[in-house]
Amino acid sequence: SQLSAVMFKWQARTLSFTPEPGMQVMAYGHISVYERGGRYQFYAAQLQPAGVGELALAFEQLKNRLESEGLFAPERKRPLPPYPRTIGVVTSPTGAAIRDIIDVLQRRAPGLQIILCPARVQGPGAADEIARAIADLNRSPGVDILIVGRGGGSQEDLWPFNEEIVARAIYRSEKPVI
């Protein structure tokens, strides 16, 4: 037997991955009668990839798309300056990451100037703030290199660093980014 399924465009826009032909998914919704044909039809409200996490699949799809556009091409990587004088840091001003970065830099290169461009590093809007901070530091004269980072966390907590807007900001950066 066969059961038709449909997902409306406005619901499909909320998916973080792109369904592909032959992909196995777990679909959530309801069954109703499609009146025109007098047949039962499944109305999907939510889809999740079967076997692999939704975030992992979304990340792979984004990575493949950006790679095909040349964002990760080796010739795009900028060489690190051997003796930078000023380092721009994009991270939360209140997290442990900034304290660790400052501690390591002061031990290894005393006298190095550090410019913090604060940004939220998790939660809604974090990716936009990270991308904006990268652009801001690129406009700062004298900054030799950028560090974009945060402490540990779950995959969901770290997700803003995987978003397209951050990848494109790094790609556009004229300064090397760690």
**What pLDDT is attached to residue 39?**
87
Give how far Cα 10 sits from Cα of 19, 32, 119, Å: 15, 19, 31
Please give the model's pTM, rounded to 2 decimal places: 0.70
**What pLDDT is attached to residue 76?**
86
**What pLDDT is attached to residue 1?**
76
**What pLDDT is attached to residue 153?**
73
Residues 6+ apart with CB under 8 A from 109: 84
**What pLDDT is attached to residue 52?**
60
- Interatomic CA distance for residues 117 and 130, integer angstroms: 9
**What pLDDT is attached to residue 34?**
79
- Let me know: does 44 contact 11? Beta carbons within 8 Å: yes
Q: Residues in the chain with pLDDT < 50?
A: none
